Amino acid sequence: MRARAIMVLGTNSHVGKSLITAALCRIFAQQGYRVAPFKSQNMSLNSAATVEGLEIGRAQALQAEAAGVAPSVDMNPILLKPAGGMTSQVVVRGRIWGKLSASDYHQRRVEELMPVVCESYEALAARHEVIVLEGAGSPAEINLKHHDIVNMRMAELADAACMLVGDIDRGGVFASLLGTIELLDHEEQARIRGFLVNKFRGDLALLEPGIRMMEGRIQKPCLGVIPYLNQLMLEEEDTLGLPVIDSTDNTAWLSRTPDRALRVAVVALPSFSNFTDFDALRAEPSVTLRFCRSAAQLRQADIVILPGSKQTVDDLLWMRNEGLDRVLLDYARTGLIAGICGGMQMLGEQILDPHGMETAGSIPGLGLLAIHTTMQPCKTTSMATGQLVAHSLFGQPVPQVHLKGYEIHIGETLYLKNAEPFAQLVRQPDSKQSPHLDGCMTPDTRIFGTYLHGLFDEDDFRHAFIAAARNFYHLAPAVVLEQWKQKRESSLNRLAETVRQSLDMSRIFSWNGLVYRTPSSVESEEKCH
């Protein structure tokens, strides 16, 4: 039997579609249904690797986690990764398909890819009872609507009952809800079964008159009002949620006491990718982490991290234009530096791009690690596990800790004379293959780089990282260390519970002929079994 379909649409980007989709996946799973997320086309620099070694949007990986299922390429068959100059790398079913301009993709290539979308959706729907689809941007982008394969066309294909989400935190929620509905065709309007208001903070009684007027105006019910959730620590879809801070006027950042927070500065590169790598570090009470672009903040940091980049060469040139390369080289004499993926490539001696994957030619790196990188047409995409090669980090002894994460990169990095590897990894799912060397460290281990995204999500490594850095600066040991996986699970449950309490779940379930059971009734049934 083909799965029933619910679709989450939004009035615009960053209204909360991704997290509401995740919440619904968790709620359906808690109700005992085999549920999976689906987004036909995603544009994001945040991506994740599946067990098969394929690449999908990070948001769909989170939604799969909420649903309690393994992430699959069927959940996100098309991923667009902005590459600058109004072009994007197009990833189809987890593999690089091409690099196209926005006009070429929308005007000529979308129809070519629609059968891939249909195939992926049908494969997913055949394996599950419920599919929660996520739209992109707004379904009312009338300039793009003719070739839109992610909103109303996908809703029709899946025969999905749709809800429309408006973000009140940015203002204009009623105008955006009404305008979106008005710009849809009559058949499309009929698919919108109700609307909801997201990110509300205030007196609900003051909002009620507007809701009643909106219900009368569009003849659709309000499904509920979801409050603004602070400190949720679940992945943002894009850099609209990235808090770049360049001010140094902050007491915590300038404190000199031994029990102060460890100051971590992540360089906010123009093509910053996979910024979710740092969510676990941001959640640590003993760490103050900032995404920044100012020389002053880099100089005052305890650790500077160069993150992943979609356009490694362009971002390295940007750093040189901003003078940040000189700041980093000066800082490297005494400070601690880490590079992840593209950040590690920048720390090397040279980056070569003979195939023009990013920028044809070669460019010298920062020269802090004894490696050079050559960009390749084929992308390495895999989950990986392993361990540190050295028993020290930042010049401090560390226990042998387990490493786990995923690789997504097009560069092949070679070691130069006297290079010291960072880790020994085994790519999944073939755990029987021989381990390979990953990353690089300076002999004193103050500077390291790795291809492993998600490195800080593992509690053992993150705790060792924090302890070594605090010891290096003679700071007091961290009083509290977070358990990240437990925190994520708690955050997903908190999100789901808030959405459950805020929305008319009985009505939403009834759209597909399903009966919603209260949490107490589900618990009673489980006890009986």
- Which residues, listed in sequence order, are joined to residue 371 by a DSSP beta bridge? 415
Kindly report which listed range (61-75, 76-90, 396-410) carries the lowest average pLDDT score: 76-90
Q: Are residues 280 and 223 in the same domain?
A: no
pLDDT exceeds cutoff 60 at 436: yes
Q: Is residue 239 part of a domain?
A: no
- Cα–Cα distances in Å, from 322 out to 244, 314, 327, 336, 369? 16, 12, 10, 21, 22
Kindly report which listed range (45-54, 56-65, 113-122, 400-409) carries the lowest average pLDDT score: 45-54
At residue 243, the pLDDT reads 61
pLDDT exceeds cutoff 60 at 515: yes
Domain at 136, CATH number: 3.40.50.300
At residue 218, the pLDDT reads 95
Residue 341 annotated in active site: yes
Q: Are residues 172 and 213 in the same domain?
A: yes
Q: Residue range 194-211: average pLDDT?
A: 96
At residue 21, the pLDDT reads 98
Band (pLDDT 50/70/90 cuts) for residue 300 is very high
At residue 245, the pLDDT reads 60
Residue with structure tokens 């940091």? Answer: 301
Percent of the chain exceeding pLDDT 70 equals 93
At residue 369, the pLDDT reads 97
CB within 8 Å of 396: residues ≥ 6 apart: 467, 468, 471, 472
Q: Are residues 288 and 419 in the same domain?
A: yes
Q: Are residues 293 and 430 in the same domain?
A: yes
Q: Are residues 189 and 284 in the same domain?
A: no
At residue 527, the pLDDT reads 61
Q: Are residues 395 and 464 in the same domain?
A: yes
Q: Is residue 283 part of a domain?
A: yes
Q: 525 vs 81, which has greater pLDDT?
A: 81
pLDDT tens digit sequence for 313-360: 999 999 999 999 999 999 999 999 999 999 999 999 999 888 777 765
Q: Are residues 296 and 438 in the same domain?
A: yes
Q: Residue range 163-167: average pLDDT?
A: 97
Band (pLDDT 50/70/90 cuts) for residue 431 is low
Residue 453 annotated in active site: yes
pTM of this prediction? 0.88
Q: Is residue 203 part of a domain?
A: yes
Q: Is residue 123 part of a domain?
A: yes
Band (pLDDT 50/70/90 cuts) for residue 83 is confident
At residue 121, the pLDDT reads 97
pLDDT tens digit sequence for 166-198: 999 988 999 999 999 999 999 999 999 999 999
The catalytic position among 222, 341, 440, 463 is 341
Q: Are residues 399 and 495 in the same domain?
A: no
At residue 44, the pLDDT reads 86
The catalytic position among 372, 409, 453, 463 is 453
Q: How far apart are CA 25 and CA 19, in angstroms?
A: 10
Q: Residue range 443-450: average pLDDT?
A: 96
Q: Is residue 99 part of a domain?
A: no
Q: Is residue 251 part of a domain?
A: no
Q: Is residue 87 part of a domain?
A: no
Determine contact, residues 448/442, Cβ cutoff 8 Å: yes
At residue 88, the pLDDT reads 85
Q: Are residues 459 and 517 in the same domain?
A: no
pLDDT exceeds cutoff 60 at 470: yes
pLDDT tens digit sequence for 222-232: 999 999 998 78
Residue 232's CB: how many other CB atoms inside 10 A? Answer: 15
CB within 8 Å of 180: residues ≥ 6 apart: 9, 11, 138, 139, 140, 164
String of b and e for 404-443 (b: at least 16 CB within 10 Å)? bbbbbbbbebeeeeebbbbbbbbbbeeeeeeeebbbbbbe
Q: Are residues 445 and 354 in the same domain?
A: yes
Q: Is residue 484 part of a domain?
A: no
Q: How far apart are CA 463 and CA 364, in angstroms?
A: 34
At residue 117, the pLDDT reads 95
Band (pLDDT 50/70/90 cuts) for residue 158 is very high
pLDDT exceeds cutoff 90 at 433: no
Q: Are residues 264 and 221 in the same domain?
A: no
pLDDT tens digit sequence for 94-122: 898 888 887 887 777 888 889 999 999 99
Helix (H, G, I), strand (E, B) or coil at 218: helix
Mean pLDDT of the chain: 91
pLDDT exceeds cutoff 60 at 239: no
397: domain range? 260-478
Domain at 383, CATH number: 3.40.50.880
Q: Are residues 460 and 507 in the same domain?
A: no
At residue 525, the pLDDT reads 63
Domain count for the chain, please give it. 2
Q: How far apart are CA 211 and CA 196, in angstroms?
A: 9
Closest CA to 466 of 338, 348, 342, 343: 338
Helix (H, G, I), strand (E, B) or coil at 487: helix
Percent of the chain exceeding pLDDT 90 equals 72
At residue 250, the pLDDT reads 65
pLDDT tens digit sequence for 251-266: 667 788 999 999 999 9
Band (pLDDT 50/70/90 cuts) for residue 86 is confident
Q: Residue range 134-144: average pLDDT?
A: 91
Q: Residue range 388-397: average pLDDT?
A: 94
At residue 252, the pLDDT reads 66
